[in-house]
Structures are given as C-alpha cells and as structure tokens.
C-alpha cells in the first residue's frame, strides 16, 4: 500500500523541509507532493532533491479563494496523468505535522473499512459548526478580490472592524476584511438532492474517493464556476461532492487535532509543548498548526515519537 502526502505550503522554509524529511524517514515508500507558493518564500529545491519520492510544484497561493482547491486538483491531475500508483491521499499544510509514526497510520488505513476520513456537516442547518449567517455569507454570495482591502495591513483591519456592521443591516452584499473580498448576493446550485456541506479542508481519502472528485471536477464546470466565486471554497467543495454522491463509507472524523480557542479570522492557534498530551492520543494522526519559531521543542517531542518506531523497524529489517 502506498500513501501520497500532499503538502501545500507558503512560509517557514525550515519547517517545510523538516516536515518533508520526517514523512520520508517515517514512510520511505510514500510519495510527497509539495505545492509551494513562492510569493511567500523561495524554496531551495536542492535540499529536497536528495530525497526520493518527492515532487515539487510551484503555484499561486491565497486565503479564502479557490487557489488552494485548484492546487489540490493540480496535484491529483499529476498523479493520474503520470499513472502514479497510490492508495490514499492525505493533504496537509506546511504548518501541519504528524503526531504518531506514519507506519501506524498507514497500517490503520490498510485495514479500515472506511473510504475516507473527513469532517462534514450540513452548512444550512442546525447541525452546522458555523452560524447560519456565516454559512450564508460564505456560500450565497459571489465574491471578488478587492485590491484596496487586500493591501490593508493586519493591524489596520482591527481598526476597520466597525465597517463590517454593514453586513448585518442589509442582505445584498458582504465585505470580508480577513480575506480582502467583496461579495454580491448570488444564486446557489444547492437543492434537496444536492446539499451544501462544510468542514475542514484537511482530510484522508482513498483512491476511489479521489477518482470520483476528480471526475466530478472535470465533468461539472458550472459547479466549479460557482465554487471559484464563493468565500472559503476549500471548506465545502470536497465535502459537498463526496457526501452528495452517497457512494462512499465516510468517517466524520478527519483525524486532525486543532484548537480554535481564542483564535481570530478563522485561524487555529499555534500548538506548543503544553498541547503534547492532547496530540499523543492514539486516534489523532496529524495536528495543526505549528510555528518552529515560536516553539521548536514540540516538533522535537513529536519527532521522538514518530521516528523511534521507524528506526526500530529499520534496524529489524537490516538484521533479518
């Protein structure tokens, strides 16, 4: 069995190199696809060429728009166009990290009866993890990037928060300071047989799930056009396509740990050594997000856990 790890990154180069290295040490036969937004930082390809099974792409990045979804499907297109063998695809950001040996995760995937692991919920319902207003604001408006809003520094956005009051007093347009976007009320493609689902972008999907979403992506241009113009399409597109198909046995658990307590603008807080007991739980496969400049020790602690088993396995293989 072979797992493909797709990493979409944009900053903290040392952390990116470390993540790729840890994955390859813990799972030597895996394939790593690194999709890097070079506008944030320049990647040193030479540091990655020494590792086999690592493919690097460069592409545009962005928050809130379709670019991250496009990068996901560009990677899938590469896998299928090159006839690359894989059984599961796990997507990560450059600020994510495994929390246990990949051999254990891959053994779990080899024996599971599920076809995929992802968080999902109906967006326009009481079960939604977001408010109904948030769901409508994201997916019932057609958005465009606003150059003026996009150039506003983060600290200035806090001062401009009162501007968002306009979103609460009329239904015709929305201003999103976090993503620098303006939206106009729009029709949606959803109905009782095609429900809008939401959830975390980060998931673990079997090859047959990937084949289905890729075929859907190529065959339904009107849905793609719709999702290209909403806000935060990455937190709805894959869920909506897979759940509405009713073809797969999907576990409503993406096996990720993240903590949004005290967070702002939809970003989970950075994890530290204090979070290690939570990260070490056996049902957690990955966590986000980390910053090596804020707390390097937590990655050292995770590496000790991840690589210890890999090193033992390597020693056993060499002695047999």
Exposure on the CB side of residue 48, measured as CA atoms within 13 A: 24
What is d(CA 259, CA 246) in angstroms, rounded to the nearest whole number?
30
Contact assessment for residue 78 and residue 33, using Cβ atoms and an 8 Å cutoff:
yes
For the chain, 320 residues long, give each residue's pLDDT as a single digit of tens: 999 999 999 989 999 999 999 999 999 999 999 999 977 678 888 888 889 999 999 877 778 899 999 999 999 999 999 999 999 999 999 999 999 999 999 999 999 999 999 999 999 999 999 999 999 999 999 999 876 666 666 656 666 777 778 888 899 999 988 888 999 999 999 999 999 999 999 999 999 999 999 999 999 999 999 999 999 999 999 999 999 999 999 999 999 999 988 766 668 999 999 999 999 999 999 999 999 999 999 999 999 999 986 554 444 444 44
Class for domain 3-122+192-310, per CATH? alpha beta
Task: Give residues with Cβ within 8 angstroms of 44, minimum separation 6.
Answer: 13, 17
Helices (H), the chain: 13-26, 46-49, 67-81, 102-111, 132-139, 147-150, 154-159, 166-169, 207-219, 221-228, 237-245, 276-279, 297-319
In whole angstroms, give the CA distance from residue 137 to residue 176.
9
Q: What pTM value is reported for the model? A: 0.91
How far is it, in rounded angstroms, from Cα 22 to Cα 65?
30
User: Contact at 8 Å (CB) between 9 and 34?
Assistant: yes
Best CA proximity match to 3, nearest among 112, 109, 113, 119: 109
Residue ranges per domain, the chain?
3-122+192-310, 141-185
């Amino acid at each position: 069995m072979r797992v493909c790890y797709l990493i979409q990154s944009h900053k903290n180069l040392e952390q990116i190199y470390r993540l790729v290295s840890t994955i390859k040490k813990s799972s030597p036969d895996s394939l790593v696809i690194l999709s890097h937004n070079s506008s944030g930082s320049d990647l040193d390809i030479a540091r990655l060429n020494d590792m086999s099974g690592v493919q690097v792409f460069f592409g545009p990045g962005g928050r809130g728009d379709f670019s991250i979804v496009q990068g996901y499907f560009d990677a899938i297109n590469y896998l299928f166009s090159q006839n690359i063998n894989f059984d599961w695809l796990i997507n990560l950001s450059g600020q994510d990290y495994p929390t246990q040996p990949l051999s254990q995760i891959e053994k779990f995937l080899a024996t599971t009866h599920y076809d995929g692991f992802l968080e999902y919920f109906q967006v326009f319902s009481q079960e939604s993890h977001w408010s109904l207003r948030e769901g409508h604001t994201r997916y019932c408006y057609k958005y465009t990037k606003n150059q003026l809003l996009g150039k506003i520094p983060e600290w200035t956005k806090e001062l401009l928060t009162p501007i968002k009051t306009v979103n609460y007093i009329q239904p015709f347009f929305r201003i999103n300071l976090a993503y620098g976007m303006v939206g106009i009320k729009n029709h949606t493609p959803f109905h009782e047989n095609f429900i809008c689902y939401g959830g975390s972008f980060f998931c673990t999907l079997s090859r047959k799930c990937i084949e289905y979403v890729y075929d859907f992506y190529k065959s339904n241009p009107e849905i793609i056009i719709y999702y290209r113009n909403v806000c935060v399409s990455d937190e709805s597109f894959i869920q909506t396509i897979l759940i509405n198909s009713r073809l797969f046995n999907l576990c409503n658990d993406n096996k990720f740990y993240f903590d949004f307590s005290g967070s702002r603008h939809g970003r989970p807080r950075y994890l530290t050594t204090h979070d290690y007991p939570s990260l070490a739980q056996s049902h957690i496969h990955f966590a986000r997000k980390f910053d090596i400049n804020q707390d390097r020790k937590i990655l050292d602690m995770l590496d000790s856990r991840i690589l210890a088993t890999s090193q033992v396995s390597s020693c056993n293989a060499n002695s047999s």
